[in-house]
Structure 1
């Protein structure tokens, strides 16, 4: 009986120290209201219907909050396979990257990171940092991808992506509240669509950046003969 009592106490202690007793940050409900499923999808459809360059393909978009939790994942096509299936995770990676490498006083888009992460660049290797959480990326029922029940929602996707389509999100008070990622076309078109979406969501109050004389985080077309 004594041994059983010790064992029971040991199991109780183990349970008390388990992951279930540790609570992480909750999803940003304020951001969910502004850039959750319905407003995000509406903003994506509106932006995608405009001229953006690229190939005029259907698109994916994702938003993460400042803690890196996925707020929503949406697409423009009739089904989740009307746009590149692989772009679902890429959109989330871009959202994570823009959020992870922007600051309250300095916005960096994923397009801004491209040149510096090429071989010989000052940030070469950055794209290998913060690996994607594969269980979050590919878990759940694929039939739910891009819906309110997408398995990524409420979880950290991680990932670092360094081509156009990811933008940090700043509310009307100038507070950095998360990141937006768009994927499904040429990366320049991805950036253009994300840029319009952020404006449509009224989350484009960028404090400063590295483009346009330090005003914002727009894409910079300055690579000549492979050199930026």
Structure 2
């Protein structure tokens, strides 16, 4: 019986996630993002996470900088992570390009450190606290989250934020998650983007394989562990080295002019 229930749940989630996107700006809806988050968290034994079960906030931001959706997953995720998830999605929007180079928040970690070539970037686009902390707080993470439709802003420079690209390589927005270690956040957001079919990456700065994901010749925006160098991120120490089943990004299916 438990097996049958598991199969039915997997089929339901697959249908919801694969449904056409109809939220603001053509991005996935609240229910679609929530389903993808559940699906990603089902892999928690191999996400390098601190918490079990998975407790996570997820958000998407359109190219106009406006939040399109905020989802609260799990029982009691860190309250501060709601705004961090929106920051991460916004950062991916700010520093990725249409039909061009994608930068994850993890890719930015090393270059914003003291002495790095982009030191200070993390303070360049501050959070609009009025937009971020509007009430009622009881609606946070629901389809009626008061941040939806507003420009929360912010820049975040550790794992958990990715740019979103359609099948044709068109840049449509950013996705951010927060609620665990930065390394687990990256793994979970990577899975979510794949489940939403928005990982058709034109190019990225990372050339290293991680977690089973092999970058194409044009690169991807996966996390790269190490010290120094562009796109490097430190280990978090919670099992991220054991992650082995991340999907590779997909090359855009049709060429498009800039």
Q: What TM-score do you get using the length of structure 2 for normalisation? A: 0.72
Q: Could you tell me how far apart the structure 1 residues matched to 2:26 and 2:165 are? A: 14
Q: Could you tell me how far apart the structure 1 residues matched to 2:29 and 2:61 are? A: 10
CA positional deviation for 1:183: 0.2
Q: Is the 8 A contact 1:34 1:201 kept in 2?
A: no
Partner of 2:246: none
Q: Is the 8 A contact 1:31 1:177 kept in 2?
A: no
Query: Is the partner of 1:135 in helix, strand or coil?
Result: helix
Partner of 1:90: 84
CA positional deviation for 1:30: 5.9
Partner of 1:63: 60
Q: Kindly indicate whether residue 123 of structure 2 is the aligned counterpart of residue 146 of structure 1.
A: no
Higher mean C-alpha deviation, range 42-51 or range 111-120: 42-51
Partner of 2:226: 222
C-alpha RMSD of matched pairs (Å): 1.6
Higher mean C-alpha deviation, range 165-174 or range 208-217: 208-217
In 2 relative to 1, CA 55–182 (structure 1 residues): closer, same or farther, beyond 3 Å? Answer: same
Partner of 1:45: 38
CA positional deviation for 1:154: 0.6
Looking at secondary structure, tell me which structure has more helix per residue.
1
Partner of 2:107: 112
Superposed, 1:150-189 pairs within 5 Å as 150-189=145-184
CA positional deviation for 1:220: 0.8
Q: Which runs of 4+ in 1 moved over 6 A?
A: none
- Structure 2 residues not aligned, in runs of 5+: 1-20, 208-216, 233-258
Q: In structure 1, which of residues 105, 108, 122 is the aligned counterpart of residue 117 of structure 2?
A: 122
Partner of 1:77: 74
Task: Say how many residue pairs are matched.
Answer: 195
Partner of 1:15: none
Q: Kindly indicate whether residue 39 of structure 2 is the aligned counterpart of residue 35 of structure 1.
A: no
In 2 relative to 1, CA 83–30 (structure 1 residues): closer, same or farther, beyond 3 Å? Answer: closer
